[in-house]
Amino acid sequence: MSKVLVTHRAPDLDAVTSIWIFKTFHANMFADAKVAFVNAGETLSQHLYEEYDVRAEDVVHVDTGLGTFDHHQPERGMIRTCASKLVYDFLSRENIHLREDWALQQIVEYVTVDDHFEDYFWPESSTERPLFSLRGILHGLEFSGLHNDESQLAFAMKCLDGVYASLKLRKKATDDIAEKGRVIETIYGKTLFIESSNQMVLRVGQLLGNPLVIVRDPKQGHLRIKLAPVKGWTLRPVYARILAQDAVGQWYFHPGEHMLLNGSRKAQHKPSPLSLDQIEKILKSVRADEANPSMKN
């Protein structure tokens, strides 16, 4: 018997995430479940039961209907929960892997924060930045006329797929840096060297306090060098020395002078034969006044 997931019209982030969790992490029962939309607070009407040809036990309401996966009951009003958290808690009791899924936990926590308007306390809450978040996008789409309930749900679920994948990559990058990363001091400050095929280590490495990150992909052999966008500093002398030593690899020097790329997902370049140790020697040969020309004055 097919399943039907029911949520409210104009699905918000909590409603969407509840549906997404069921369909993604309880796929054996809900991957192909139909989704029905009702007025907020209501349940599926009898004629829709007949239209979908389902029994009561095959219908699950989320974020509406005051049932197991709703949090609008008076007794739950002061509890820090939401529909997505109720769904996650329910499924994780049966599945130990969900209890250990850091990326999914971050999504559930974010939705809980959002549903309780706890982003009020975030430093950037009064700026335009939150409008670029998934919540801000979904809220705007409600008034754009570009989507109906079904397409809004499909779009938001695809976004959650991307967020989940990015979170997993970030966790892997953090673990890789802790296990395999090597940090030394150069004229650019703390500099991280690491072998990894996860290119998110570039961004995560910098966010962990390393202005310069050098990543070598052990599978493809490509090198990527990224410097924090600090005014006055440049990788130009590093680029010049690399070209003097590397007659094989293809390099792209970004015009912002903070990135040196030897291959990426956007362009397949011949990998450089230079090792991380050789790049380290090159960095140590660069003078501070070369890396920051303003120091000459």
Percent of the chain surpassing pLDDT 90: 89
Buried b (16+ CB within 10 A) or exposed e, 275-294: eeeebbebbeebeeebbbee
Ordered by where they begin, the domains of the chain are 4-172 (no CATH), 181-296 (3.10.310)
Q: How confident is the model at residue 146 (pLDDT cuts 50, 70, 90)?
A: confident
pLDDT > 70: percent of the chain: 98
Instruction: Give the tens place of pLDDT for each residue, 261-295.
Output: 998 666 678 999 999 999 999 999 999 999 999 88
Instruction: For residues 209-222, give the mean pLDDT.
Output: 96
Please tell me the distance from the alpha carbon of residue 117 to that of residue 80, in angstroms, as a whole number: 11
- Pairs from 174-183 (Cβ < 8 Å, separation ≥ 24): 174/204, 174/208, 176/201, 177/201, 177/204, 177/205, 177/208, 181/205, 183/210
Which tokens is 74 given?
A: 């008076």
Confirm if 39 and 112 have CB atoms less than 8 A apart.
Answer: no
> pLDDT (tens digit, 9 = 90+) per residue, 221-262?
999 999 999 999 999 999 999 999 999 999 999 999 999 999
- Mean pLDDT (whole number) for 189-199: 96
Distance CA 254, CA 261 (A): 8
